[in-house]
Amino acid sequence: METKDSDDDSSFSGNFLDGSLLSRIEKRQGSQPSVIVIGGGISGIAAARILHNASFKVVVLESRDRIGGRILTDYSFGCPIDMGASWLHGVCNENPLAPLIRRLGLTLYRTSGDNSVLYDHDLESYALFDVNGHQVPQQTVIEVGEVFKKILKETDKVRNEHEKDMSVLQAISIVLDRHPELRQEGIAYEVLQWYICRMEAWFAADADMISLRNWDEEQVLTGGHGLMVQGYLPLLEAMAKDIDIRLNHRVTKVANGYNKVMVTLENGGIVVADAAIVTVPLGVLKANLIKFEPSLPEWKLTAISDLGVGNENKIALLFDEAFWPNVELLGIAAPTSYACGYFLNLHKATGNPVLVYMAAGRFAYDLEKLSDEDTVDFVMTQLKKMFPHARKPVKYIVSRWGTDQNTLGCYSYDLVGNPSDIYDKLREPVGNLFFGGEAVSVEHQGSVHGAYSSGVMAAENCRKHVMERLGSWDRIQLISCREEILESTVPLQISRM
Ligand SMILES: Cc1cc2nc3c(=O)[nH]c(=O)nc-3n(C[C@H](O)[C@H](O)[C@H](O)COP(=O)(O)OP(=O)(O)OC[C@H]3O[C@@H](n4cnc5c(N)ncnc54)[C@H](O)[C@@H]3O)c2cc1C
């Protein structure tokens, strides 16, 4: 791999293996295959790990001053707070991240044993309030939760009757016309809106944007949903060990030649390698923040433009002590799903007096128009509806995933009318370019483990492609990544079974 970096023109050789083995290999094999990984989120780091362990020269180019991308564990409260991903969806051994989580001894706090995409919290762990601060009887919360399940079941029939896709909201309205007995009134209506708000949070998009055909097609792993008590970052750091990661290296151009890829950086530097793996978020690709030469083929551009990117923001509040009930979610039911809201109570899971307000879809974008102070004022107004004597937060953190130029959205989801092969097209290599990232995951888009698997797959495909071209290197497989970093016999540590 050749580099010409404006602030650092060191070569990559020697970074991936040390000692005599490297020189023996180099003598026998000549130059090593090289790969550039664009993006230092979990997908890029997983890809780099595989290639590093297969003795490739690999460099990760990351635009931010940190690794992790949409994994962002903040320590400014004196305890880990995940402002991006925080749940492991699928607390089971089949989860590809489970072996590493076990080996690192990271603890999970299971918020739900349900495998459905909608119930990452058990119904009985909510405390819901109306906009006037009256607590909704738990029986109503549970009953309306059951009604919502029935409505969604009925939308399945609507889907089977209509060839053309429609939004989940449209289908719900058809179901309610057909089954007036499922309609809710008064506070029960508002609780129903709250369930729709929670569904919107899963997709990070409003119900009128979510595809009826695809919304429940995701293969959810078993074992329910668990919060990473120590945060997600330790996982990333373990994977990133010894990988050559260049922070503050924003890629602006990718030239895909006959047998090389040339990547141009914002700082004027150039990096050349045998192949590249692009793992930047779909939002970044949609906004054309990276120029591809030649242009990506039309089918790829169409897939990039057709897949949806949602938005979700978190506002974390640290208090001097917990003054709220010991439940997992504190919610506000309101006449529209847009006006509903909820707080994740981290005190229950971690013991730290922290509430995290979560906003999704259009509402998340609207919140980003406010200053941090105004956002916190708004969130405190919501909290005071439930607890009029709520204290002032000691510290706060506000995320802005929708306008952050390194992300431009939080994760992908199926828009109405998305063709089913859209993910295959997003994943499909173009010449020496391979594509990873959550949006190209085969079965688990929008998740950390999906992003991880997509990086592994991109790296394996890239490795085969480069080796076919370079020939004899395929005999040198020093370490299998899975054996080295992921295998472990320690059980998962789960609290709240
Ligand atoms: C608020 C929020 C909550 C979430 N909650 C969960 C959850 O609870 N559980 C779960 O499983 N998933 C969750 N997710 C989704 C999960 O975080 C992502 O699916 C996953 O982290 C994506 O990893 P990635 O490597 O594909 O992308 P990223 O982590 O975004 O990595 C891509 C990297 O590319 C970098 N980059 C961008 N542009 C350039 C450029 N021009 N040059 C170089 N580098 C560039 C970025 O800085 C970034 O580091 C959540 C996401 C968000 C935002």
- The string of DSSP codes covering 70-108 is T--EE-TTSS-EESS--EEE--STTSTTHHHHHHHT-EE
- What local confidence, expressed as pLDDT, does residue 281 receive? 98
**For tokens 């709520």, what's the residue?**
390
- What local confidence, expressed as pLDDT, does residue 31 receive? 74
Whether 112 shows a pLDDT value over 80: the answer reads no
Which pair of structure tokens corresponds to residue 420? 């089913």
Whether 143 shows a pLDDT value over 50: the answer reads yes
- What local confidence, expressed as pLDDT, does residue 470 receive? 81
Q: State whether residue 170 is helix, strand or coil.
A: helix
Q: What is the mean pLDDT of residues 300-307?
A: 96
Per-residue pLDDT tens digits for 239-270: 999 999 999 999 999 999 888 999 999 999 99
Whether 126 shows a pLDDT value over 50: the answer reads yes
Distance (angstroms) between ligand 1 centre and the Cα of 127 equals 30
Tally Cβ neighbours within 10 Å of residue 29.
16
Confidence band for 484, pLDDT divided at 50, 70 and 90: very low
- Provide the β-strand partners of residue 4: 270
Whether 21 shows a pLDDT value over 70: the answer reads no
Rounded to the nearest integer, the mean pLDDT of the chain is: 89
Q: What is the mean pLDDT of residues 152-159?
A: 95
**For tokens 């063709």, what's the residue?**
419
- What local confidence, expressed as pLDDT, does residue 497 receive? 38
Whether 476 shows a pLDDT value over 90: the answer reads no
- Buried b / exposed e across 238-264, counting CB within 10 Å, b at 16+? bbbeebbbbeebbbeebbbeeebbbbb
Task: Give every CB contact of residue 163 below 8 A, 6+ residues apart in sequence.
Answer: none
Q: What is the mean pLDDT of residues 190-217?
A: 94
Q: Give residues (CB < 6 A) around ligand 1.
A: 38-44, 61-64, 69-71, 84-87, 89, 250-251, 279-281, 284, 289-290, 312, 314, 401, 406-407, 410-411, 437-438, 446-448, 451
Whether 142 shows a pLDDT value over 50: the answer reads yes
Whether 487 shows a pLDDT value over 70: the answer reads no
- What local confidence, expressed as pLDDT, does residue 150 receive? 95
Confidence band for 374, pLDDT divided at 50, 70 and 90: very high
Q: What is the mean pLDDT of residues 301-315?
A: 97
- What local confidence, expressed as pLDDT, does residue 119 receive? 63
Residue nearest to atom 15 of ligand 1 (CA): 447
- What local confidence, expressed as pLDDT, does residue 222 receive? 84
Distance (angstroms) between ligand 1 centre and the Cα of 35 equals 21
Which has more pLDDT, 223 or 350? 350
CA distance 133 to 110: 28
- What local confidence, expressed as pLDDT, does residue 47 receive? 98
Distance (angstroms) between ligand 1 centre and the Cα of 394 equals 28
CA distance 214 to 413: 9
What percentage of the chain reaches a pLDDT higher than 70? Answer: 86
394, 320 in Cβ contact below 8 A? Answer: yes
Whether 301 shows a pLDDT value over 90: the answer reads yes
Which amino acids are annotated as binding site for substrate, given as ranges?
357
| Site to substitute for ligand 1 among 60, 67, 70, most atoms within 8 A of C-beta | 70
Confidence band for 11, pLDDT divided at 50, 70 and 90: very low
Whether 17 shows a pLDDT value over 60: the answer reads no
Quote the pTM value: 0.90
Which has more pLDDT, 476 or 281? 281
- What local confidence, expressed as pLDDT, does residue 182 receive? 97
Task: Give every CB contact of residue 488 below 8 A, 6+ residues apart in sequence.
Answer: 99, 100, 102, 103
**Counting atoms of ligand 1 from 1, which one is nearest the CA of 437?**
26
Per-residue pLDDT tens digits for 398-449: 999 999 999 999 999 999 998 888 999 999 999 999 999 999 997 888 999 9
Which amino acids are annotated as binding site, given as ranges?
43, 251, 357
Confidence band for 173, pLDDT divided at 50, 70 and 90: very high
Confidence band for 220, pLDDT divided at 50, 70 and 90: confident
